[in-house]
């Protein structure tokens, strides 16, 4: 696949994901082995301390992992597992996640993703994740 | 804290979490070092293959970890990091997460949480997580 | 496989692992979906603070994961990934690791393992791990 | 600390780690927030399939994480937790681990480390890790 095909396929998948759409996740750019996703922050995404809920950050990280690793292996990839470290409270205007393939084979891809919080025009690292994307046909 | 105090505090925190409430997360029971949370499944929580979005499952796991580990350390605990393995597609009527403290100290608690999918009255293991909850005042 | 066959196979594999043997790892018991391993502590396994080196604890956890998950899937299983939380310094007479299958399929098993340190006859939890064992024929 | 001070301190710590020394771990270079470690491969480090034991790779990854994250926080840092994905069998002449700080605060540093296997003069990625290093004075 070319970068353009990867992005077109990503946009099609995203358009059929009710949960991601309800969060306002948007594709900034995609290519072979890399993804950038964006999600605006609003009060509905917060927890009791006023920060973005950790589950929202984990969701965006999971999506960046899957959207990055999936195209490397073809249709029907799913997240097998991942790990996330929270580094900074999610307080600001938007979240930006960037995924990058570490290694890939026929049946699995190992991917890293960083989630940044954008506040007053500045990106700050908010969380870092690493995980495995596998072909869905298991 | 007694089990009853832990649960009362958990219900208070949950009532002030806009994101968790929008997901329909409910506390089944809480006590010192243990939590059970429930979330009904509906189409708005799914991804493009019709399963519950992995981010939703991660959110419930994260909440079970934090609601389990937090009360052990007092107010203001947050998830520092966690890892999750997805075991089975989230297809059914509801998700149920159970958290259990593995070990705890003054500043951190290590917790495990399992997420089950309930379909036709049967619980099946859907995902397993392990992570660290830390005091927020860092 | 019966429990006895699982243990016999485990003992055979261990006898052909130069590194594990040099660490003094021994099988306490094995069965379908469970393993207990033991390793005596001595100065050669420590780091600069006098505690067992984290890599030794990770090695024993990794072995407990693989020896537990492998037999569920047949020959040639390897660790695909794992996560470990260190809970207490490894100071004492021996390490004991117990693994237990969380879920397994044809090609992968998700396993948890706890590593205990034995000091003055008492077991104390030293580290907790969770990971994925996969069939080696990839 | 300067890069030179970080490396001098790393060499001093390594010289007092019986286990690391028995593995033949050597410091290639260290600086503020980065480490490169090397370990020759020999039969004594293998498992039953002739590859380097996963525990050895985990040990080198753990060391790269701790030697990278520790100097950022001062004396007495220990690994709190980490996660590792195995990507390729450890077969070759040596292992090389490179660690890099992702984020650091007063009490913890989140670090990534990649372990490469060197065979016939070529480096190939063998495992990727991510973890948390914390101040030891807990």
**If you write DSSP's letter for every residue of D74-88 in order, what string do you get?**
-S-EEEEEEEEEE-S
C-alpha distances in Å from residue D7, one per residue of D4, D29, D113: 5, 7, 17
Domain count for chain B: 1
pLDDT at A74: 76
Q: How confident is the model at residue D74 (pLDDT cuts 50, 70, 90)?
A: confident
Parallel, antiparallel or unpaired: strands A34-40 and A26-31:
antiparallel
Which residues neighbour D12 within 8 Å (Cβ) at sequence distance 6 or greater?
Answer: none
Give the residue with greater pLDDT, B131 vs A1.
B131
3-state secondary structure of D69: helix
B127's enclosing H/E stretch is strand B122-135
Q: Per-residue pLDDT for B24 more than 70?
A: yes
Per-residue pLDDT of chain C (138 residues; tens, 9 = 90+): 899 999 999 999 999 999 999 999 999 999 999 999 999 999 999 999 999 999 999 999 999 999 999 998 876 799 999 999 999 999 999 999 999 999 999 889 999 999 999 999 999 999 999 999 998 764
Question: Which residues constitute the domain of residue A110?
Answer: 3-135
Terminal CA-to-CA distance of chain C, rounded, Å? 23
Mean pLDDT of successive 10-residue stretches along chain A, which has 138 residues: 95 97 98 97 96 98 97 87 97 98 94 97 97 83
Q: How many residues does chain A have?
A: 138
> C59 vs D59: CB contact, 8 Å cut-off?
yes
Q: Per-residue pLDDT for B104 more than 50?
A: yes
Q: How confident is the model at residue B138 (pLDDT cuts 50, 70, 90)?
A: very low
pLDDT at A73: 87
pLDDT at B106: 86
Asked if the C-beta of B53 comes within 8 angstroms of chain C's C-beta atoms, the answer is no
Q: How confident is the model at residue B124 (pLDDT cuts 50, 70, 90)?
A: very high
- Residue D10 to residue D21: CA distance in whole angstroms: 13
Q: Which CATH number covers residue A128?
A: 3.10.129.10
pLDDT at B137: 65
Contacts of C106 in chain A (CB under 8 A): 138
pLDDT at A47: 96
Mean pLDDT of D31-42: 97
B20 closest CB neighbour out of A18, A47, A58: A47
Contact partners for chain B, using 3 or more CB pairs closer than 8 A, are A, C, D
Task: Read off the DSSP letter of residue A49.
Answer: T
Contact partners for chain D, using 3 or more CB pairs closer than 8 A, are A, B, C
Give the residue with greater pLDDT, B132 vs D72.
B132
Which residues neighbour A72 within 8 Å (Cβ) at sequence distance 6 or greater?
Answer: A32, A33, A101, A104, A109, A133
- Residue C17 to residue B16: CA distance in whole angstroms: 54
pLDDT at C138: 45
pLDDT at A81: 98
pLDDT at C93: 98
pLDDT at D29: 98
pLDDT tens per residue across span B35-59: 999 999 999 999 999 999 999 999 9
pLDDT at A24: 98
Interface test mutation site (partner B, options C69, C111, C115, C130, max chain B beta carbons within 10 A): C130
Which of these ranges, A5-9, A130-134, B70-74, D38-42, has the smallest mean pLDDT? B70-74
- Residue A129 to residue A112: CA distance in whole angstroms: 6
Average pLDDT, rounded, for chain B:
95
Interface test mutation site (partner C, options A81, A102, A111, max chain C beta carbons within 10 A): A81
Beta carbons of C110 and B87 less than 8 angstroms apart: yes
Beta carbons of A84 and A127 less than 8 angstroms apart: yes
Contact partners for chain A, using 3 or more CB pairs closer than 8 A, are B, C, D
Q: Per-residue pLDDT for D138 more than 50?
A: no
Task: Give the residue among D44, D13, D18 at the shortest CA–CA distance from C44.
Answer: D18
**Window 68-97 of A, Cβ < 8 Å to C:** 80-81, 83
Is the full-model pTM beyond 0.90?
yes
Asked whether the ipTM of the predicted complex exceeds the cut of 0.90, the reply is yes
pLDDT at B73: 87
Asked if the C-beta of A107 comes within 8 angstroms of chain D's C-beta atoms, the answer is no
Mean pLDDT of B58-87: 94
Q: Where are the beta strands (DSSP E) in B51-121?
A: 77-86, 94-104, 108-119
B81 closest CB neighbour out of D105, D106, D132: D132
């Amino acid at each position: 696949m070319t970068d353009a095909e990867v992005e077109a396929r990503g946009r099609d998948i995203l358009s059929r994901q009710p949960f991601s759409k309800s969060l306002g996740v948007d594709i900034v750019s995609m290519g072979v082995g890399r993804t950038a996703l964006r999600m605006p922050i609003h009060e509905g995404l917060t927890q009791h301390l006023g920060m973005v809920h950790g589950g929202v950050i984990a969701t965006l990280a999971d999506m960046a992992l899957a959207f990055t690793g999936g195209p490397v292996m073809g249709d029907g990839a799913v997240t097998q597992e991942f790990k996330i470290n929270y580094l900074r409270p999610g307080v600001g205007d938007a979240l930006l996640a960037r995924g990058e393939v570490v290694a890939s084979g026929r049946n699995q891809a190992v991917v890293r993703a960083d989630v940044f919080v954008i506040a007053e025009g500045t990106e700050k690292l908010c969380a870092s994740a690493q995980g495995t994307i596998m072909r869905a046909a298991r």
